[in-house]
Structure 1
Amino acid sequence: MTANNEWAEAIRWIQAQMADYGLPMEELAAAGCFDPPPPPTPPPPVCYRDAAGQSWDGQGEMPDWLRRAVNAGQSVEFYRAG
């Protein structure tokens, strides 16, 4: 099925749902269905970076590249960005 066919099928499905539930466009608009999406949240700042450009924001589990370096005796602070 081509993209145009999929799009047309989706429109038909939406129109059928609107008819089944008695939803006019005005109610959908009032509910915010056509509002633009919120802007994406910026990524967290990089706290640690190695020479190869791998980075970690310091949140969550420590990445493998940094864990291997620490296990080999390197200080985490050695990789602190900034």
Structure 2
Amino acid sequence: MADYGLTLEELEAAGCFDPPPLPPSPPVVCYRNAEGLPWDGQGEMPSWLKRAVNAGQSVEFFRVG
């Protein structure tokens, strides 16, 4: 630290010794098919759900909870 002109107090003030942030919690499953394949409703619609919608089924049919 002395080579860089830093003190322990400066490092503490900068947060160098703070605990790391917690990882984000996994997304909540909003949709699930009969085989148990999940989709959280974020990102691109999975292929199993695209096929079901193209076959005439509604997305809401697969909603859980």
Which TM-score applies when normalising by structure 2? Answer: 0.72
The structure 1 residue matched to 2:15, chosen from 32, 37, 42, is 32
The count of residues paired between Structure 1 and Structure 2 equals 65
Q: Unaligned stretches of 5+ in structure 1?
A: 1-14
1:71 aligns with 2:47: no
**CA RMSD in angstroms, aligned pairs only:** 2.1
Which TM-score applies when normalising by structure 1? Answer: 0.61
CA deviations over 1:22-41 (Å, ceiling 9, x no partner) = 22333222211111122233
Runs of 4+ that moved beyond 6 A? none
Work out the CA distance in 2 between the residues paired with 1:52 and 1:34.
46
The structure 2 residue matched to 1:41, chosen from 2, 24, 27, is 24
Higher relative contact order (CA 8 A, sep 6+): 2
| Structure 2 match to 1:61 | 44
Q: Percent identity?
A: 72
